[in-house]
Amino acid sequence: MQAEEKRQFIEKVYGRFWKELYVVAYRRLQSEQDVEDILQDIFLSLLTGDVILDNDESVRAFLHRRLKSRVINFFRKQLLTELYEEQELTVSGLSDTDSETRLMSQELEAVVQEEIDRMPEKMKQIFLLSRNEFLTSEEIATRLNLSNQTVRNQISSAIKRIRATVKIYNRVELSATSLNILITISLLMLSNYK
């Protein structure tokens, strides 16, 4: 589609479906600003993507799928933000006796980041788009010109790698903790014999 044809197509689609999408999104979000942001994002994505839609029903279905995806991402981001803020409050409220817990948490984050850095480049790119930009597998597939199944497989493999790394880290940490407990008990027992 030529640039001018695309612009006219998007204006037509906007005029035909904006109100319908607005009503659906507002029922879920209850915020004019959030709804307008999401709708603007959806219609802007039509400019950048190569979307070929034959009739009003395929356009309607496509737009509603995009809207559903954006609303889910909105709530996911909101939930993650709330969890992060809650975690930050909890961490900032910890006393000095919990510094070991904070240190272990930072170590675990570093271990996970190292595993992400070791991933093959395409797997790493797909995983980060999924986790950092909250894109759906469909959106990642479109952006990277891959099949949806390939994207899902790469995300699944990345998660398995991270889980395996965390499992190994936890075993090592457990062993180190057990060793510290044994040394402490041994020292206490030896001090009783003096």
List the domains of the chain with CATH numbers: 1-93 (1.10.1740), 96-194 (1.10.10.10)
pLDDT above 70 for 54: no
| 167's tokens | 């499992």
| 183's tokens | 């040394």
Q: Quote the CA–CA distance of 145 and 36 in Å, as a whole number.
A: 28
| pLDDT tens profile 94-112 | 544 456 666 667 777 788 8
pLDDT above 70 for 187: no
pLDDT classification of 121: cutoffs 50, 70, 90: very high
CB 43 within 8 A of CB 15: no
pLDDT classification of 186: cutoffs 50, 70, 90: very low
pLDDT above 60 for 18: yes
Residue 190's pLDDT is what?
46
| pLDDT tens profile 171-181 | 665 455 544 54
Please give the mean pLDDT across all residues of the chain: 78
DSSP 85-106: HHHHHHHHT--GGGHHHHHHHH
Q: What is the mean pLDDT of residues 137-162?
A: 88
pLDDT above 80 for 47: no
Main-chain dihedrals φ then ψ at residue 136, nearest 5 degrees: -75, 165
Full-model pTM: 0.47
Greatest mean pLDDT range, 88-92, 107-111, 112-116: 112-116
pLDDT above 70 for 117: yes
Q: Quote the CA–CA distance of 10 and 16 in Å, as a whole number.
A: 10
Residue 31 CA neighbour count, 13 Å, CB half = 8
pLDDT above 50 for 193: no
